[in-house]
Amino acid sequence: MVSKAFVVDAYQRKCELMAEADPDLELTLVTPPSWRWGARVSTFKPAHVRGYAVVVAPIALNGSFHLHWYRGLGGLIRRLQPDIAHIDEEPYNMATWLAFRAARSAGARPLFFTWQNLTRAYPPPFRWFERSVLRDARWALAGNAAAAAVIGAKGYRGPTTVVPQFGVDEEIYRPPAGRHSDRFVVGYAGRLDPEKGVDTLIEACAPLREVEVQIAGAGPERERLGALAERLAMTSRTHFLGSLDTAAMVAFYQGLNAFVLPSRSRPNWVEQFGRVLIEAMACNVPVLGSRSGEIPNVIGDAGALFPEGDISALSDALRTLLGSPDAARAIGQRGRERAVAHFSMRRIALNTVRVYREMRN
């Protein structure tokens, strides 16, 4: 498997679980020594590396999602002689195209991963990369149902499995021992960007005097959202927590009475998954989400949905939770069950290994 995502130590648990799921699987992860996420840099630290091999390979054009590539990957693939080459990147990326070329020359069966849930016409050379990868792939993993439809519309004719890239670790994200606060705390976590709709959340909570809002994350909307809270006399009830590490995020979810993902679709973006939803669900928190992109498929029957940007509908849904604590607890329990059954890291690992087995047959 070739993936820059595994510089994040928590994600390495997926490879451990994959190796554990199939004793016959000889898994080698190829990942860079670091990856630049804009101004932030993640450095690879081996945290969960039992049962599989790791090769830390130098990377060119670090931080360029579409143009990066791995130095020496062709030679490494020829030495390893894998049956399957899992390229954990979009089909239009240079890294995917180069890795597919190396895989084909070594006789390996290649597959790729895609989140892209909007049909886009890419300029050269990305259009050429995509066309070549879609033609040569033996399997595709799609993070959401819309992404599977997109590659089909672009001519991919091979088998596709819809499975998120990563799941939630239910042993870390778990229900609290108990909630003892008399406050009703509603939370949001993620980027503070216009399309995330956090203003909808603040406005929906304004008439609910019993509600406190906690917002975890950073982004360009921070100043505007703070001004909105002040204009709505919400300053004392709206708390901006900034970016939080994993331990702080778990504590954040465990202190909530409800979690909201109020995303708004744009011509060039719709919600691809909403990982924060499954983290909150794993902590027994009732979740509410807009009908943007994949959100309805993630929540299923374990939460509530509202039209994008509909302040009144979100306010009414929160008011219902406020007035029905027993129903809210039942929703939270369903969320936990759904997160563990469908979106745990173990489930994602098992589904990925199942694809490998199919490809070997």
Average pLDDT over every residue of 311-329: 96
DSSP secondary structure, 145-176, as one string:
HHHHHHHHHTT--S-EEE--S--B-TTTS---
Output the CA–CA distances (angstroms, integers) from residue 51 to 12, 18, 351, in the order listed.
Answer: 11, 9, 18
| Tokens 């994600």 sit on residue | 11
Instruction: Render pLDDT for 43-99 as a digit per residue (tens, 0 to 9).
Output: 999 999 999 999 999 999 999 999 999 999 999 999 999 999 999 999 999 999 999
Residue 178 banded pLDDT, cuts 50, 70, 90: confident
Instruction: Render pLDDT for 212-225 as a digit per residue (tens, 0 to 9).
Output: 999 999 999 999 99
Surface-to-core class of residue 176, CB atoms within 10 Å of its CB (0-12 exposed, 13-18 middle, 19+ buried): middle
Backbone angles phi, psi at 45, to 5 degrees: -130, 120
How much of the chain exceeds pLDDT 70, in percent?
Answer: 99
Q: Is 90 exceeded by the pLDDT of residue 39?
A: no
Q: Is 90 exceeded by the pLDDT of residue 318?
A: yes
Which regions of the chain carry the CATH code 3.40.50.2000? 5-167+344-360, 184-343
Q: What is the pLDDT of residue 361?
A: 83
pLDDT greater at residue 182 or residue 117: 117
Surface-to-core class of residue 70, CB atoms within 10 Å of its CB (0-12 exposed, 13-18 middle, 19+ buried): buried
Instruction: Render pLDDT for 330-344 as a digit per residue (tens, 0 to 9).
Output: 999 999 999 999 999
Q: What is the pLDDT of residue 177?
A: 83
Q: Which of 282, 286, 281, 284 is nearest to 323 (CA)?
A: 286
Mean per-residue pLDDT over the chain, rounded = 96
Q: What CATH code is assigned to 184-343? A: 3.40.50.2000
DSSP β-ladder status, 303-306 and 287-290: parallel
The letter for the amino acid at 262 is: P
Surface-to-core class of residue 297, CB atoms within 10 Å of its CB (0-12 exposed, 13-18 middle, 19+ buried): middle
Q: Which of 30, 89, 79 is nearest to 57 (CA)?
A: 30
Q: What is the pLDDT of residue 290?
A: 98
- Gap between the Cα atoms of 25 and 30, Å rounded: 16
Backbone angles phi, psi at 79, to 5 degrees: -70, -40
- Note if the pTM is more than 0.85: yes
DSSP secondary structure, 324-361, as one string:
-HHHHHHHHHHHHHHHHHHHBHHHHHHHHHHHHHHHH-
Output the CA–CA distances (angstroms, integers) from residue 99 to 30, 42, 53, 184, 229, in the order listed.
Answer: 11, 23, 18, 50, 49
Residue 182 banded pLDDT, cuts 50, 70, 90: confident
Among the listed ranges 141-145, 177-181, 274-278, 284-288, which one has the minimum average pLDDT value? 177-181
Output the CA–CA distances (angstroms, integers) from residue 49 to 42, 56, 244, in the order listed.
Answer: 17, 12, 25
Instruction: Render pLDDT for 107-131 as a digit per residue (tens, 0 to 9).
Output: 999 999 999 999 999 999 999 999 9
Residue 180 banded pLDDT, cuts 50, 70, 90: low
Average pLDDT over every residue of 266-274: 95
Which CATH number is 5-167+344-360's, of 3.40.50.12240, 2.40.30.10, 3.40.50.2000, 3.10.129.10? 3.40.50.2000
CA atoms in the 13 A half-sphere facing the CB of 343 = 26
Residue 38 banded pLDDT, cuts 50, 70, 90: confident
